Structure 1
Amino acid sequence: MSADRRPSRGKRDNNSAKFRQKDLDPARVAARDTLRAVRERDAYANLVLPKMLRDRKIEGRDAAFATELAYGTARAQGLLDAVIAAAAKRPVEEIDGPVLDVLRLGAYQLLRTRVGSHAAVSTSVDLVRSENGMGPSGFANAVLRKVSQKDEDMWVEELAPSPAEDLVGYLAFQYAHPRWIAEVFRDALGGSAGQLQAALAADDERPPVHLVARPGYITAEELALTSGGEEGNFSPYCVYLPSGDPGDVDAIREGYAGVQDEGSQLIARAVTVAEVADDSGRWLDMCAGPGGKAALIGALAEIDAARLDAIEVSKHRAELIRKVVSDLPVTIHVADARSSGLEPGYDRILLDAPCSGLGSLRRRPESRWRRTAGDVDELVVLQKELLTEALRLVKPGGVVVYSTCSPHPAETTSVVADVLASVQGARQLDARPLVTVGKLGPELLGDGPHVQLWPHIHGTDAMFLAALTRD
């Protein structure tokens, strides 16, 4: 559907404050209902919306429009709320939730899409009126008309902190991030304002879809040809899908490929290419759910005649793993990885530790507004316990790859340093050679010995990688 297309509004019943659902634009209704699920049930937009589109048979351009509206609005929520509060002259906490969902949706169209102002306002007012009646719809109309009087840059200049006095706060507001996350990125980037702006800007964009070709089943070249995509720059298994639904790709439906960020592919590959003397083929994925990395490692294990043990504490997530590795040499263990009962002596271990997820905020649009700085402290304790156990389970001379989908120094370099200081005989290896592949040369990998990927530099999620061993 063209973003400028106005949905048919049908006949109005002057004796009723409601329209029939069929008179409303189905794409906008799906976006609104997704935002409502996120607000009311702490649902994840990227899980709710695809199912909703399938169930309601919304396809093609309408589905793409609904996706842009739902994900974009969720991603920009903090900025939108500040603008709505200014236009309404009241805090958003004082606005009824169902009305606020639509105001966010309307404000997003006004500020960040090419939808015409009249269409953005009128369709939003119709959404409010269909459920809430004339009074709330009049309020929505007034607020959105006030929002439409300025473009995004003008609202940012009016509401953001002064860049001269608080550059981090200004950039955080401009690119719709909580300030504390912008501070984390700044610290991880060495304090560079230019790098911080580039990182926040990249994080605020709709992310590309990355596919992974399962080794031994299909090559990246074949996957690119059959999907209409383009081979990735770094991972030998990656394909960039420029448009369309990944679920429509034959190779994915047949189990020969999956959806996986290129950074995650590099992490999974790294544990399989590290130099290990006398590799006996006993490999371990310590925190394997939902199974993307286990599937890639398992496919490579099959080629190398190795076997992979995969630990997952959640029964539900263990079932997700089982579905994607059913034909691979992978054994799933439902257990706490800190006390799994497995015997030490593993040649290769991947510890993709539970983390804040700050590196994948672009793919989980609402997550940035749910996380708090306090969440990290508890995670760090868990990460250190898991990494200590990984070093106990690995054989002398084996390799442990520690990774997080987070650039937060507390979850990355600090965890590694603290565990190395507490585990006798443990030492850090240079992880850069493990991901030097394709166009990913030393000039893009920093000073080491760890690797930190970034959306604005590598086009991947902000994945962290460290390699350890013990004597």
Structure 2
Amino acid sequence: MNPRRVAFDVLRQVTGEDAYANLVLSKRLATAGLDTRDAGLVTELVSGTCRLMGTYDRVIEAASGRALSTLQPAVVDLLRLGAHQLLGMRMKKYAAVTSTVDLARATVGQRVTGLVNAIMRKLSAHDLDGWLDVLAAGADPLDELAIRGHHPRWIVEAYADVLPAEELPAALAANNVAPHPTLVVRPGLAKVQELRGATPARFSPFGATAEGAPSEQTAVRQGRAGVQDEGSQLVAWALSHTAAPEGPWLDLCAGPGGKASLLAGLARQQGTWLLASELQEHRTRLVAQSLGAYPDGTVTVVADGTKPAWGRAFSRVMADVPCSGLGALRRRPESRWRRSPEDVTALGSLQRELLRKAIASTVPRGVVAYVTCSPHRAETVEVVNDVLAEHPGATRLHAPDMLPDVPDAALGDDIQLWPHRHGTDAMYLALLSVE
């Protein structure tokens, strides 16, 4: 199977069917029968094209002198892949142009090969930096930062709202580097030391990185370890050792199960158990699978966190609410171009309601962890501020006290992690004490 054809098929699903690149890519590679080298090429073609898609779209329009809307969607995807080979991977002009024209002939048809050839040759007039100079000419400072950092302007503005100006280029650049998978051991079931060739994580006592596929680790195959970003590990760990009365724990939005698995092990070590609740049935199955290695101490249910069937019963509650995912742009390359400010606004009421129900589910002197994988103020501090204003009996704890060895993580009394500072996803955490 031609690896470029595989990459094209995956990209068509991403752009034409709104599929998630990482999921489609994984499924396609599992059946394509490619060797390691060609599979790596497909991964780079898909991930790299998706990551810089907005930039490539502007370059294609500038080079061709026509709007993308005047081209067939399949031709646009062919040109995006060609642009990444020319500009992102720096392939030689002849190889990039010829392979893209050949792919156009095999997929769309002979009639578009002349057009594809002409535009590809125009794309080769500059390297990527040269095209960025063209696009940035006359732009204001934020627009130029967005262009050179390969992000929509509205995301740059959201980052600028919470980061010093001098850090913005590094923060955007960090989103353009695919992360190495981080492993996590399940407390009570495995230790970091038994992971073969592992280097302990920078901050999490449960995390490590190792060469090779995670599935090559025996503990991962047995469910005693898994894959989980270190930032996700840290927010669960912070909740686990915040002072709270004895009693069961709740993961209010548990899918797909990473934090639930870590919380379950930590709860068992403290002599209690975890209820993992998830609204969507297929995600609940993923949670149950993730928790499956524990012989006891967990209960998984399909439930709506905004309409809980339980009362005020839990000493610790994790509310990892649905969010825009702006904190995980490095691992979800297409999402920066797929999301919009309206998506952030639309999630606000759900996030607030879930936090209200988390507070209502917590026993006196219990603790709620409000978590998002987003640094956007509208999904983080503004949500917490609004809900606290309604609940005079709930107070903010100084969350950085729970992660004293993690530098530069404080956002007032809350925690904001960053890829460029900590090597983690941009996880946000607020800890609330409930009276």
Given the two structures, how large is their TM-score scaled by the length of structure 1?
A: 0.89
Name the amino acid aligned to 2:146: A
Secondary structure of the residue that 2:358 maps to in structure 1? helix
Which whole-Å CA distance do the structure 2 matches of 1:142 and 1:241 have between them?
Answer: 45
2:167 to 195, 214, 228: 195
Structure 1 residue 82, shift from structure 2 partner: 0.6
1:413 to 372, 381, 398: 381
Secondary structure of the residue that 1:374 maps to in structure 2? helix
Secondary structure of the residue that 2:315 maps to in structure 1? strand
2:81 to 88, 91, 105: 105
Within 5 Å, give how 1:65-464 maps onto structure 2. Answer: 65-160=41-136, 162=138, 166-189=140-163, 192-223=164-195, 226=196, 228-242=197-211, 244-276=212-244, 278-280=245-247, 282-328=248-294, 329-437=297-405, 440=406, 443-446=407-410, 448-464=412-428
Which whole-Å CA distance do the structure 2 matches of 1:72 and 1:90 have between them?
Answer: 24
Q: Per the alignment, do residues 187 and 423 of structure 1 end up closer, same or farther by CA in structure 2, a change over 3 Å counting?
A: same
Q: Per the alignment, do residues 115 and 158 of structure 1 end up closer, same or farther by CA in structure 2, a change over 3 Å counting?
A: same
**Over residues 133-152 of structure 1, what are the superposed CA-to-partner deviations in whole Å (9 max), with x where a residue is unaligned?**
32311211111111112011
Structure 1 residue 356, shift from structure 2 partner: 0.9
**Over residues 83-113 of structure 1, what are the superposed CA-to-partner deviations in whole Å (9 max), with x where a residue is unaligned?**
1111221111221111111110110111111
Secondary structure of the residue that 1:306 maps to in structure 2? coil
Which whole-Å CA distance do the structure 2 matches of 1:377 and 1:461 have between them?
Answer: 21
Find the counterpart in structure 1 of residue 18 from structure 2.
42
Secondary structure of the residue that 2:182 maps to in structure 1? strand
**Over residues 386-435 of structure 1, what are the superposed CA-to-partner deviations in whole Å (9 max), with x where a residue is unaligned?**
11111111111111011100000011111111111111211000101222
Name the amino acid aligned to 2:240: T
Structure 1 contact 72–206 (Cα < 8 Å) conserved = no
Structure 1 residue 59, shift from structure 2 partner: 3.6
Secondary structure of the residue that 2:363 maps to in structure 1? strand
Q: Per the alignment, do residues 138 and 248 of structure 1 end up closer, same or farther by CA in structure 2, a change over 3 Å counting?
A: farther
Name the amino acid aligned to 1:246: P
Structure 1 residue 161, shift from structure 2 partner: 5.1
Name the amino acid aligned to 1:403: V
CA RMSD of aligned residues (A): 1.5
Secondary structure of the residue that 2:158 maps to in structure 1? helix
Displaced runs of 4 or more, over 6 A: none
Residue 470 (structure 1) aligned with residue 430 (structure 2)? no
Name the amino acid aligned to 1:324: S
Find the counterpart in structure 1 of residue 33 from structure 2.
57
Structure 1 residue 249, shift from structure 2 partner: 3.2
Structure 1 contact 349–394 (Cα < 8 Å) conserved = yes
Which whole-Å CA distance do the structure 2 matches of 1:466 and 1:154 have between them?
Answer: 43
Which whole-Å CA distance do the structure 1 matches of 2:386 and 2:313 have between them?
Answer: 23
Given the two structures, how large is their TM-score scaled by the length of structure 2?
A: 0.96
Which whole-Å CA distance do the structure 2 matches of 1:433 and 1:361 have between them?
Answer: 28
State the identity as a percent. Answer: 46
Structure 1 residue 447, shift from structure 2 partner: 5.5
Structure 2 contact 206–233 (Cα < 8 Å) conserved = yes
Name the amino acid aligned to 2:205: P
Find the counterpart in structure 2 of residue 16 from structure 1.
none
Structure 1 residue 177, shift from structure 2 partner: 0.9
Secondary structure of the residue that 1:410 maps to in structure 2? helix
Which whole-Å CA distance do the structure 1 matches of 2:411 and 2:373 have between them?
Answer: 20
**Over residues 344-378 of structure 1, what are the superposed CA-to-partner deviations in whole Å (9 max), with x where a residue is unaligned?**
13110100011111111111111111111011122
Structure 1 residue 263, shift from structure 2 partner: 0.3
Structure 2 contact 223–292 (Cα < 8 Å) conserved = no
Secondary structure of the residue that 1:209 maps to in structure 2? coil
Structure 2 contact 308–357 (Cα < 8 Å) conserved = no
Aligned residues: 433
Unaligned runs of 5+ in 2: none
Greater mean alpha carbon deviation, residues 167-176 or residues 401-410: 167-176
Name the amino acid aligned to 2:272: A
Structure 1 contact 210–259 (Cα < 8 Å) conserved = yes
Secondary structure of the residue that 2:341 maps to in structure 1? coil
Which whole-Å CA distance do the structure 2 matches of 1:29 and 1:238 have between them?
Answer: 37
